[in-house]
Amino acid sequence: MATIKTAVADYLPGLVARPDPKFVTEDGTRVYGVSCEFETAADAYHAAEKVRDAGFKHWDLYSPFPIHGVEEAMGIRRTILPVISFGAAVTGVLCALALQYYTNLVDYTFIVQGKDPRAWEAYIPVTFELGVLFCAFATLGGMLMLNGLPRFHHPLFNNDRFLKTSDDRFVIAIEAEDDKFDPESTPAMLESIGGSEITLIEDDA
């Protein structure tokens, strides 16, 4: 529940007040968290394992491409996206069957070429296509929704160096929201696992 409230507050700060910041900088700006950089996928992967083992929950590894097996290194649980997609596919199939049943058998029955309109085989192609169509929309929409996108501004973008993650740099960012976050020890921990360019990220939204 708290997560949903935070998400709504992120999107519509006028509607839901954001919770008070846990940490602020000297001039009173909310602290988003702290980030560090890695040069290679292998370094970032092994660092992620250490952050996971240190017990952090609100953190992420940013990489220009999906690193193979990073789910395990970060302790990410399987997404429920396939369930959403399957549900949408079933909905599409049922909608298609209902549409065809109502239009061609209930509302306006007609016989073409002497063929029984109740022969179900002829209704399969449209049923299949609508199942696929619904599934595709739900898959893309569900992926974006679960990711909290579209979200055009994010505190991480305040850091000029963060833009390099879309090129060839790997960034680990730990959020101040995390229970284990500490403005003194967390940057030190990031340094100890091999991160460079340790930066405090301000949340100026």
Site for other proteins in 61-100 (CB under 8 A): 61-71, 73-74, 76, 79, 81-82, 85, 89, 99-100
Using DSSP's 3-state secondary structure scheme, residue 19 falls into coil
Q: Rule CB under 8 A: say whether 41 interacts with other proteins.
A: yes
Nearer to other proteins by Cβ, of 24 and 87: the residue is 87
Under the criterion CB under 8 A, does residue 9 sit at the interface with other proteins? no
* Sign of the Cα pseudo-torsion (182, 184, 187, 188, in order): negative
Angle subtended at Cα 152 by Cα 149 and Cα 154, rounded to the nearest 5 degrees: 95
Q: Which is nearer to other proteins, 19 or 148 (CB)?
A: 148
Helix ranges (H only) for the chain are: 2-11, 41-53, 70-74, 81-101, 124-146, 185-192
Find out whether 48 and 172 touch, Cβ atoms under 8 Å. Answer: yes
Q: Which residue has the tokens 């250490």?
A: 50
Stretch that binds other proteins, among 10-18, 22-30, 160-168, 174-182 (CB under 8 A): 160-168
Supply φ then ψ for residue 48, to 5 degrees. -60, -40
Question: Which residue from 32, 33, 34, 45 is in contact with other proteins, where contact means CB under 8 A?
Answer: 45
Note whether 170 and 41 are within 8 A (CB). Answer: yes
**Alpha carbon 134 to chain centroid, angstroms:** 20
If one asks whether residue 128 binds other proteins (CB under 8 A), the answer comes out as yes
Rounded least distance, CB 204 to other proteins, Å: 15
**Could you give the 3-state DSSP secondary structure of residue 129?**
helix
Q: How far is the CB of 169 from other proteins (least distance, A)?
A: 9
The answer to the question of residue 146 lying near other proteins (CB under 8 A) is yes
188 binds other proteins (CB under 8 A): no
| Cα separation, 108 vs 105, whole angstroms | 6
Q: Per rule CB under 8 A, is residue 166 in the interface with other proteins?
A: yes
Task: Point out which span in 9-17, 25-33, 136-144, 175-183 binds other proteins (CB under 8 A).
Answer: 136-144
Q: Which residues between 102 and 121 bind other proteins (CB under 8 A)?
A: 103-104, 107-108, 110, 112, 115, 117, 119
CA distance 106 to 39: 65
Closer CB to other proteins, residue 156 or residue 189?
Answer: 156
CB 192 → other proteins: shortest distance, Å? 18
